[in-house]
Amino acid sequence: MEKLQSMEQYEQLKSGERTIFMFSADWCPDCTVIEPLLPRIEVDYPEYEFIYVDRDEFIDLCGELNIFGIPSFVAFHDGVEAGRFVSKDRKTPEQIEEFINGLSD
């Protein structure tokens, strides 16, 4: 999964056709639990570009998007937020897939 490098890159990526940002941190135990599962999810949803956002590096962006718990996911379609799966709770692969499957076109 590509890691977000700058706010400029964020603006460019969110304007893409289908992008899912995963907000996470190295120190987050719930994030490390799902990390090994993410490559399979990426393969199962090739229509999406998945981007890792380090919560500590982009704390202002987290505030702007009201992301106060991790791991969290926010999807954009053509620059418009299409859905969010935001909470401080641990996520299962099934919950992540349900979130992606429920995104509007």
Residue 57 belongs to a domain? yes
CB-based contact 23:51 (threshold 8 Å): no
pLDDT of residue 105: 63
Mean per-residue pLDDT pooled into runs of 10, the chain (105 residues):
96 96 94 92 95 96 94 96 90 93 83
Task: Count the domains in the chain.
Answer: 1
Q: Pick from 85, 83, 25, 90: which is nearest to 53 by CA?
A: 25
Residue 105 belongs to a domain? no
pTM for the predicted model, two decimal places? 0.94
Query: What gap in Å lies between CA 79 and CA 71, rounded to an integer?
Result: 22
Query: What gap in Å lies between CA 36 and CA 55, rounded to an integer?
Result: 19
Q: Pick from 87, 83, 26: which is nearest to 53 by CA?
A: 26
Q: Which domain holds residue 96?
A: 2-100
Q: State the CATH number of the domain containing residue 10.
A: 3.40.30.10
Residue 39 belongs to a domain? yes
